[in-house]
Chain A
Amino acid sequence: DADVTQTPRNRITKTGKRIMLECSQTKGHDRMYWYRQDPGLGLRLIYYSFDVKDINKGEISDGYSVSRQAQAKFSLSLESAIPNQTALYFCATSDLQTSVNNEQFFGPGTRLTVL
């Protein structure tokens, strides 16, 4: 089984709808991240969490919210989706206990289309 899983893998939704993307990991890592990737813009950090009680905004958090329900689960919500949130979304994990260098491991991604 994959260490980092994301659901759904693909989603098409309409403008104004609320949508949640979920990430689960079995790596036992304490840190989790959400990125979006757009052609020509690279990976951009949306939110990150260093433990269950710690949530931090990344460079593009507007229009998004997150929830760290447990060490293994980190969800990303779009409260009212808009077309420019169409992108590939990745969850990633890292673990300060095993790697002070913050190596990150990525889930398979969710392709989101907002019509």
Chain B
Amino acid sequence: QKEVEQNSGPLSVPEGAIASLNCTYSDRVSQSFFWYRQYSGKSPELIMSIYSNGDKEDGRFTAQLNKASQYVSLLIRDSQPSDSATYLCAVNPDSGYALNFGKGTSLLVTP
């Protein structure tokens, strides 16, 4: 079984702080990695994708990938209460299969 592991949380951060969300995966040949945001009762929304080692920035979001350590993270700068949601890490083992999802980390940004 190809595992994608996330701390369930909740992770609580004050408004304006940096939220750091982490994900590890077991399949060493995985090629692409995604972060989805899911508000309660809503569908997952793709917010970041990363394919190469290093950092990728998009607005307040930064995804970090370390394939040697099989680790991917999401940083949210200047966290806002509207960022409160569950963040799902997803891993694509190869282009011929569906994504493997972690169970998600619940983030709570307090005013």
Q: Which residues of A contact B (CB under 8 A)?
A: 33, 40-43, 45, 48, 58, 88, 90, 96, 100-109, 111
Contact B42 A109 (CB under 8 A): yes
Determine how close the nearest CB of chain B comes to the CB of A51; give it in whole angstroms. Answer: 13
In the complex the two chains form, is A42's CB within 8 Å of B101's CB?
yes
When the two chains form their complex, are residues B103 and A45 in contact, meaning their CB atoms are under 8 A apart? no
Within 8 A of A (CB), among B84-111: 88, 90, 92, 95, 98-99, 101-104
Q: Is the CB of B103 within 8 A of A41?
A: yes
Q: Which of chain B's residues have a CB closer than 8 A to the CB of A111?
A: 41
Tell me whether B104 and A42 are in contact (CB under 8 A). Answer: yes
Residues on the B chain within 8 Å of A107, using CB: 43
In contact, B44 and A101 (Cβ under 8 angstroms): no
Contact B46 A33 (CB under 8 A): no
Q: Is the CB of B32 within 8 A of A101?
A: yes
Overall SS of chain B's interface: loop
Q: A90-B43, A101-B49 are in contact. Are A42 and B98 (CB under 8 A)?
A: no
- Distance (whole angstroms) from the CB of A72 to the closest CB of chain B: 18
Closest 8 CB pairs of A and B: A42-B103, A101-B32, A106-B43, A43-B101, A102-B92, A48-B98, A106-B44, A109-B43
CB within 8 Å: A-B pair count: 52
- Chain B residues close to A by CB (< 8 Å): 8, 31-32, 34, 36, 41-46, 49, 51, 88, 90, 92, 95, 98-99, 101-104
Closest to B34 in A: A103
What 20 new A-B contacts, CB under 8 Å, besides A108-B43, A109-B43?
A33-B98, A40-B8, A43-B44, A45-B98, A58-B98, A96-B95, A101-B31, A101-B51, A101-B95, A102-B92, A103-B32, A103-B34, A103-B46, A103-B49, A105-B46, A106-B36, A106-B43, A106-B44, A107-B43, A109-B41
Residues of B within 8 A of A102 (CB): 32, 92, 95, 98-99
Instruction: Name 14 A/B residue pairs within 8 A (Cβ), A-sorted.
Output: A42-B101, A42-B103, A90-B43, A102-B32, A103-B34, A103-B49, A104-B34, A104-B46, A104-B90, A105-B46, A106-B43, A106-B44, A108-B42, A111-B41
